[in-house]
């Protein structure tokens, strides 16, 4: 079998060598031709089609250590797959040794200390499911099948960001297997510089095997969901969105999007495929107050669908899952905004009207709030001036439609990026976005990250990520 080394050479891997790896593991080794190889090697974005040489389905920290040791002995290229949701396909690499973390999905909740410990293979839904048993939650994203590891290591935002900041602001500790195959703890007291770097610096410093999150009282019932209108009402709806978002208390998070209507049962059949505008709301405080806060949205204009109701928080957290299935082709362009100007809304509508796939959308996520209260140096995720995330989200089925959809997203971005803070979300960068975009995402924190990299991974073993070169 052929495998790749860290410096890009191809080497022959003997069966005996592979057997020696198997003997050190509790988890399964999977290679091309084995059942499950394709399931493990594929990621959310079907534009990414890579073939790792060896996949290890880790069953614990000892397996992770054994894999890192093996990679060091043979100088193998290493990649780590959490939820496999990274749009650039950073979880997988041709010829690599892949650590598939998807079987490490345990969650332990200490309801008295309000801390959850989650294994690094957890998806967002795994964590919400366990913490919600106690009416608790931490800040996670909008799609429950996303991996906690990639999301947290790159920052993380969702419906609770405005109350408690980036996901990574809510991390109190991580267990990490280093480039020397040592298990270490990273907290504000133990290895504090490593801990700083992990909160936005991605998987550059080791394999994270577990994450401890601070929890907050949320739900179990919140007011959340979607109201949709025909796109002809977009000028008024976007104006309403702007006003409400500017005045919203931290408990209320508002998202707006424009797209062709999906064939959802709550939207009239004759509207399916036609352009719509919608507002997604989550009021995570008292549900009675939430109903009052969203009443103005529900009674606005002539909605074609309204599923903005009291519901379990965990249900809201998976409400959008069906819109983002694994296996479509995806291409995004993204920027942070400090506010929404009327001219931005005009352009947002104009480019939405040019969408050329039934699955694509233009989305504006409201963030800000608690996130804005810390300074850029607090952690590498930075971007403390961001109040909205613009995502121009191309999604389609056939490779033959790649050119048209990518061109649509790029054109829209070219026209809209003038409204950016200059910053962008590292976790939304596509595979062709390089060092200048990483710099836009991490800002001046890059040089400190490079120092940490030099200390913890001087050989750059952990390189299939948004790579920080050792100083
Ligand atoms: C449909 C969709 C919705 C999204 N919604 C949101 C959202 O609401 N909010 C938000 O903040 N982000 C969101 N994202 C972006 C998301 O945060 C990133 O895609 C993130 O990389 C996903 O994490 P993952 O574990 O699934 O990634 P993977 O693709 O598995 O990995 C991404 C990177 O993290 C590294 N990594 C993974 N696990 C480990 C580990 N254990 N130790 C060290 N490194 C590791 C990988 O090596 C790789 O470099 C969304 C993405 C998608 C596709």
Chain-wide mean pLDDT for the chain?
A: 98
Report the CATH number that the domain containing residue 200 is assigned in CATH: 3.30.465.10
Is residue 376 domain-shared with residue 392, that is, in the same domain?
Answer: yes
**C-alpha of residue 72 to centroid of ligand 1, in Å:** 25
pLDDT the model gives residue 133: 98
Which domain-ending residue is among 73, 100, 127?
100
Predicted local confidence at residue 64, as pLDDT = 98
In the reported structure, the alpha carbon of residue 147 is separated from the centroid of ligand 1 by a whole-number distance in angstroms of 5
Q: How far apart are CA 313 and CA 283, in angstroms?
A: 10
| Other beta carbons within 10 Å of 77 | 24
**SS3 category, 81:** strand
Residue 328 Cα to ligand 1 midpoint, Å, equals: 17
- Torsion angles phi and psi, residue 95, rounded to 5: 75, 0
Atom number in ligand 1 closest to CA 206: 43
Q: How far apart are CA 439 and CA 46, in angstroms?
A: 27
Pocket lining: 64 vs ligand 1, CB cutoff 6 Å: no
Question: Please, which residues bridge with residue 397 across strands?
Answer: none
Q: Do 317 and 384 belong together in one domain?
A: yes
| 316 and 451 together in one domain | no
Q: pTM (2 decimals)?
A: 0.98
Same domain for 81 and 18, yes or no, is yes
Query: What integer pLDDT is reported at residue 394 of this predicted model?
Result: 98
CA-nearest residue, atom 9 of ligand 1: 141
For ligand 1, is residue 136 a contact (CB within 6 Å)?
no
Sign of CA dihedral 228, 233, 238, 243: negative
CB of 464 sitting under 6 A from ligand 1: yes
143 CB under 6 A from ligand 1?
A: yes
- Please indicate, yes or no, whether residues 112 and 96 belong to a single structural domain of this protein: no
Nearest to 167 by CA among 154, 181, 184: 154
Q: Classify residue 343: in a domain, yes or no.
A: yes
CA torsion through residues 211, 153, 391, 399, sign: negative
CA angle 399, 144, 90 (to 5 degrees): 50
Residue range(s) defining the domain that contains residue 275: 221-428
Q: Give the pLDDT of residue 101.
A: 98
Claim to verify: residue 211 and residue 228 sit in the same structural domain: no
Ligand 1 binding pocket mutation candidate from 39, 82, 257 (most atoms within 8 A of CB): 82
Domain assignment present for residue 270? The answer is yes
Model confidence over 154-195: pLDDT tens digits?
999 999 999 999 999 999 999 999 999 999 999 999 999 999
Instruction: Say which CATH number the domain at 313 has.
Output: 3.40.462.20
According to DSSP, residue 37 is labeled H
Token pair belonging to 176: 């990490």
Domain boundary among 82, 100, 118: 100
Residue 288 maps to a domain: yes
Q: Could you please report the per-residue DSSP string of 319-362?
A: TTGGGS-TTSEEEEEEEEES---HHHHHHHHHHHTT--STT-EE
Residues 228 and 202 in one domain: no
Number of structural domains (the chain) is 3
C-alpha 66: how far from chain center: 28
Q: List the chain residues with pLDDT less than 50.
A: none
């Amino acid at each position: 079998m052929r495998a790749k080394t860290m410096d890009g050479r191809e080497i022959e891997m003997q069966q005996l060598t592979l057997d020696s790896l198997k003997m050190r593991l509790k988890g399964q080794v999977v290679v091309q031709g084995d059942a499950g190889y394709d399931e493990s090697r594929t990621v959310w974005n079907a534009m990414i089609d890579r073939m790792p040489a060896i996949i290890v389905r880790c069953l614990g920290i000892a397996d992770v250590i054994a894999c890192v040791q093996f990679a060091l002995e043979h100088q193998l290229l290493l990649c780590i797959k959490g939820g496999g949701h990274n749009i650039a396909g950073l979880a997988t690499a041709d010829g690599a040794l892949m650590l598939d973390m998807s079987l490490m999905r345990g969650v332990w909740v200490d309801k008295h200390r309000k801390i959850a410990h989650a294994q690094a293979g957890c998806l967002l839904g795994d964590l919400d499911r366990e913490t919600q048993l106690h009416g608790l939650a931490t800040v996670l994203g909008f799609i429950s099948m996303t991996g906690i590891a990639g999301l947290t290591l790159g920052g993380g935002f969702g419906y609770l960001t405005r109350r408690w900041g980036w996901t990574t602001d809510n991390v109190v500790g991580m267990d990490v297997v280093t480039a020397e195959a040592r298990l270490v703890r990273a907290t504000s007291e133990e290895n504090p510089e490593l801990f700083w770097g992990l909160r936005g610096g991605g998987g550059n410093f080791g394999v994270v095997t577990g994450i401890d999150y601070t929890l907050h009282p949320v739900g179990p019932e919140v007011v959340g969901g979607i109201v949709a209108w025909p796109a002809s009402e977009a000028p008024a709806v976007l104006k309403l969105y702007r006003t409400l978002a500017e005045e919203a208390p931290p408990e209320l998070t508002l998202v707006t999007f424009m797209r062709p209507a999906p064939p959802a049962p709550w939207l009239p059949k004759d509207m399916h495929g036609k352009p719509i505008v919608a507002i997604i709301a989550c009021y995570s405080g008292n549900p009675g107050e939430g109903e009052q806060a969203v009443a103005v949205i529900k009674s606005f204009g002539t909605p074609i669908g309204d599923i903005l109701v009291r519901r379990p928080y965990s249900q809201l957290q998976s409400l959008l899952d069906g819109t983002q299935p694994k296996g479509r082709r995806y291409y995004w362009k993204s920027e942070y905004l400090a506010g929404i100007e009327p001219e931005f809304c005009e352009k947002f509508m104009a480019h939405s009207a040019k969408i050329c796939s039934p699955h694509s959308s233009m989305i504006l996520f409201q963030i800000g709030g608690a996130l804005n209260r810390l300074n850029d140096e607090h952690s590498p995720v930075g971007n403390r001036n961001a109040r909205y995330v613009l995502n121009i989200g191309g999604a389609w089925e056939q490779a033959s439609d790649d050119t048209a959809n990518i061109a649509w997203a790029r054109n829209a971005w070219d026209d809209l990026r003038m409204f950016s803070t200059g910053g962008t979300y590292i976790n939304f960068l596509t595979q062709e976005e390089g060092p200048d975009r990483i710099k836009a995402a991490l800002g001046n924190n890059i040089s400190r990250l490079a120092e940490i990299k030099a200390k913890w991974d001087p050989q750059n073993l952990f390189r299939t990520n948004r790579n920080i070169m050792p100083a």
